[in-house]
A and B are shown apart, each in its own frame.
Chain A
């Protein structure tokens, strides 16, 4: 098998390949989710956007459509999106232990910060300098999420053309301007897609 030989000879694939060593993979997952979780302010989508950039664009460990599916799953089930998405990514890349490493990495930073703040939170909440720096980080986070929306939008166009983009536009409008819950929007869109492929000629791929 030529593929196996290629792997054995250690030929460098594009970007940074996943190393064979299990502990190295787990460490990478932990360290990545730890760093992402530590600096990403702005909710679950921010984490998803950064994960997408780091794992899909920079490292090539995941495909764009996988990241989209994981986001949909993370959003429509119980629990924080950030934790759910880390778990799914970890499980995909390194099984149960990968899931554990990624979840621990994503949970630790907020836990450490909030535990510390439980003792002296008034100080941090009232510092104008801290507030300004955080507004700057927030603006950057909005850009990271916008960047993800743009490239994932292109990927959705390749998958589902007009249908998928229309769904995206409708959901965007509903989410931005009405109070509909995200689980309802996601499940509704899934149901519409299901109906369409059951009724139609099945050419959706």
Chain B
């Protein structure tokens, strides 16, 4: 019975999770903490912290974590499946619509607007992640005028951008290399 509840709770999360990211944090909290009481508020806060440090969208991370807590691997699979099912159906339908509308000239105008907006959003995401990694307690932190600044993270950002744009390095390699350098510097400083 509760396995069904688990499925329904995350189906609900998947259905109403518009925009993604931190917009849906309270939505999940309502289901998992308030409605079903599967996690305490403190445990939920822990998951949020972990989600920032691990790969994957926050909704999926919560689903896997809660599912695994309650029913092990089966629970994890079911909760994950439920949380992506609505999106998969909707997006597949939109993809059909997209290819049908493609030749029409008004649609081309709308697409120009959409593409512009996407570039703006991507740039904003880059800025926010840059601020999050550089102006925070991190690998080797300094206080400047009361602000925490991490010059190592700033240098790694520059190194990564250089490797990507000038050396045409693979993005996965660059991320792993920067992670390894940060780990090594942490050990050296400490």
Contact B116 A156 (CB under 8 A): yes
Complex Cα gap A6–B106 (Å): 37
Number of A-B contacts (CB under 8 A): 398
Interface flags, B172-184, vs A, CB<8A=1, else 0: 1011111111110
For B125, list chain A residues within 8 Å (CB).
42-43, 45-46, 145, 175
Query: Is B94 part of the binding interface, using a Cβ–Cβ cutoff of 8 Å?
Result: yes
Complex Cα gap A182–B90 (Å): 18
B156 contact from A136, A163, A185, Cβ within 8 A: A136
Contact A133 B180 (CB under 8 A): yes
Query: Is A29 part of the binding interface, using a Cβ–Cβ cutoff of 8 Å?
Result: no
In the assembled complex, the CB of B94 is this many whole angstroms from the nearest CB of chain A, namely: 6
Known interface pairs A142-B130, A156-B119; A81-B20 also in contact (CB < 8 Å)? yes
Contact B90 A140 (CB under 8 A): no
Contact A68 B119 (CB under 8 A): yes
Contact A69 B56 (CB under 8 A): no
In the assembled complex, the CB of B134 is this many whole angstroms from the nearest CB of chain A, namely: 7
Known interface pairs A50-B172, A107-B80, A145-B129; A133-B186 also in contact (CB < 8 Å)? yes
Q: Pick the interface stretch among A7-15, A17-25, A166-174.
A: A166-174
In the assembled complex, the CB of B74 is this many whole angstroms from the nearest CB of chain A, namely: 10
Interface residues of A in 93-141 (CB under 8 A from B): 99, 103, 107, 109-111, 113-115, 117-119, 121-122, 124-125, 128-141
In the assembled complex, the CB of B44 is this many whole angstroms from the nearest CB of chain A, namely: 12
What's the tally of chain B residues with a CB closer than 8 Å to chain A? 102
Query: Is A44 part of the binding interface, using a Cβ–Cβ cutoff of 8 Å?
Result: yes
For B52, list chain A residues within 8 Å (CB).
41
Complex Cα gap A122–B45 (Å): 12
Interface flags, B154-180, vs A, CB<8A=1, else 0: 101110110011000011101111111
For B17, list chain A residues within 8 Å (CB).
78-80
Interface flags, B4-19, vs A, CB<8A=1, else 0: 0000000000111111
A167 contact from B113, B136, B190, Cβ within 8 A: B113
A107 contact from B54, B84, B171, B183, Cβ within 8 A: B84
A118 contact from B65, B105, B130, Cβ within 8 A: B65
Contact B133 A142 (CB under 8 A): yes
Complex Cα gap A134–B52 (Å): 9
For B2, list chain A residues within 8 Å (CB).
none
Contact B117 A146 (CB under 8 A): no
In the assembled complex, the CB of B97 is this many whole angstroms from the nearest CB of chain A, namely: 9
Complex Cα gap A106–B28 (Å): 21
Interface residues of A in 181-204 (CB under 8 A from B): 181-183, 185-186, 188-198, 200, 202, 204
Interface residues of B (CB under 8 A from A): 14-21, 23, 46-47, 49-50, 52-61, 64-65, 67-69, 73, 76-77, 80, 84, 86-88, 90-92, 94-95, 98, 105-130, 132-134, 136, 138-139, 150, 152-154, 156-158, 160-161, 164-165, 170-172, 174-183, 185-187, 190
